[in-house]
Amino acid sequence: MRFYDRENEIRLLQESEELSERAASFCVLMGRRRVGKTSLIVKALEGKQWAYLFVSKDSEAVLCSKFQKELESHLDIHVYGQLTHFRDLFRVVMEESQKRHFTIVLDEFQTLYKINPAIFSEMQDLWDRYHTTSKLNLIASGSIQSLMKRIFEDKGEPLYGRPTSKFTLLPFTIRTLQEILCDHSPNYSNEDLLCLYMITGGVAKYVELLMDARCYTKAKMLDYVFRPDSYFLTEGRDLVNQEFSDDGTTYFSLLQLIAGGQTRRADIDGSMQKDMGTFLQNLEKNYNLISRLRPVLAKPASKKTAYEISDQFLRFWFRFICPYQSLIERQQLSLLRQNVEKGYDQFSGRTLEQYFQQKAIESGRYTVVGNWWDKVGGNEIDLVALNEFDRTGMIGTIKRNPKKVSLKELEEKVQAMPKSDFGQYKTTLVGLSIDDM
């Protein structure tokens, strides 16, 4: 699959590279695994002088030996003797950058924390001493969100405040997903697009796997996911395990409950038979794996909350793959595939809501996008998109089957929305289905 999109992100990296010719630049690039961070860096640095240093789970001495060879090979930085401490290697880099301009990419940067936490204090010392006269373009890329945030956003950490730029690489937009699927299969159906969005969420690696395997239809995509050699069968566990250090079993159980439809706090506590507040907060704040949903315009302290897995692939994985590990071990994948068909319409119905909500966000016309529901749950609205500046908005009902879309029923639900909050908005009512993707 060819390289798609990322024009803005490429521009950010190239601007940092250009600025570092006069003053050192320290760019932090974050994003979940498989989203395309390395491919983005390679694309942005085409034709530039740079070295790629992957932080593997080795001892500090072994890692330095690997880095030393890369620096010699790609930047012609020669070091006499064998360096065994990262601080010594980084000092060489900073000293060399006093003479000339080049880029260093440290990929999976957060792994340094597990190798030797003191490395960050040593980097801070050397950066503070040399960066004002340096021409180094330093890019720290990382995929474990909890650790990357701790390293760069915790005020007590040595590297807090040091980066000159920082951004998160997000999955492909819906428009890009449509472009990719159209390039590979011009006659694709909306059902195919919905399935691609449901499985991949726009994550570059997942999209690439399906397109390279010529899986352009819903049936072929699902068949590919449940093949005996499928990459997707273990990807969810691998992805989540890298975040959890303790209580992994509890977190896995919580994510299964939420993916299965138990999204309210009372239901979750009841199923787990204890207060899960701390665990839910960790999943939301530290690991960024779930989102806490409130009705649009509800007060921050509102108890009308629900939880949802933020990542489309993980939502799919925890619903249809994680609970059935025994079937996978016994290679009864045909049963798993059949189970997806049974629950597909209901599960993808919520996916369709998320699809239209994301489209509303990507349109750039709305400042607030989400759902709305009342206290008793009798009135639920699938899409509320508001512009708080010009007081306009859109309120929508979303159904897979276009025959089930009822604007009259939507109008009745809108009457239950508090006039004190929504009365000042001029809104348009819309009915959306899979035909409108």
CB-CB contact of 142 with 112 (8 Å): no
Structure tokens at 404: 């089930």
**What is the pLDDT at residue 63?**
96
Contact 382, 353 (CB under 8 A): yes
Question: Running DSSP on this structure, what letter comes out for residue 21?
Answer: T
> What pLDDT is stored for residue 435 in this prediction?
97
Query: Average of pLDDT values for 209-238?
Result: 96
Q: Which whole-number Å values give the CA distances from 75 to 68, 100, 324, 403, in the listed order?
A: 10, 11, 49, 63
- With 80 as the cut, is the pLDDT of residue 434 above it? yes
Residues 370-427: tens digit of each pLDDT: 999 998 777 999 999 999 999 999 999 999 999 999 999 999 999 999 999 999 999 9
- Are 239 and 33 a contacting pair, CB within 8 Å? yes
Spatial CA neighbour of 244 closest among 293, 310, 291, 289: 289
Tokens of 246: 């303790």
pLDDT at 147: 87
According to the model, what pLDDT value does residue 299 have?
A: 86
Residue 98 has pLDDT above 90, yes or no: yes
Q: Is the pLDDT of residue 79 over 90?
A: no
pLDDT tens-place string over residues 132-170: 999 999 999 999 878 898 999 999 999 999 999 999 999
CB hemisphere CA count around 323 (13 angstroms): 17
Model pTM?
0.93
The string of DSSP codes covering 222-253 is HHHHTSTT-THHHHHHHHHHTT-SS-HHHHHH
d(CA 42, CA 13) in angstroms, rounded, equals 10
Instruction: Average the pLDDT over 274-287 and give the result.
Output: 92
Alpha carbon distance 114, 137 (integer Å):
24
Calculate mean pLDDT across residues 196-210: 98
Q: Give the pLDDT of residue 302.
A: 81
**300 vs 66 pLDDT, higher one:** 66
- pLDDT above 70 covers a percentage of the chain that reads 100
In order of 97, 264, 295, 297, 372, the CA distances from 304 in angstroms are: 54, 9, 7, 11, 10
Query: Do 129 and 165 touch, CB atoms closer than 8 A?
Result: no
Average pLDDT over residues 235-255: 87
Per-residue pLDDT band for 301 (boundaries 50, 70, 90) equals confident
| pLDDT mean over 21-40 | 95
Phi, psi dihedral angles at 124 (to 5 degrees): -60, -45
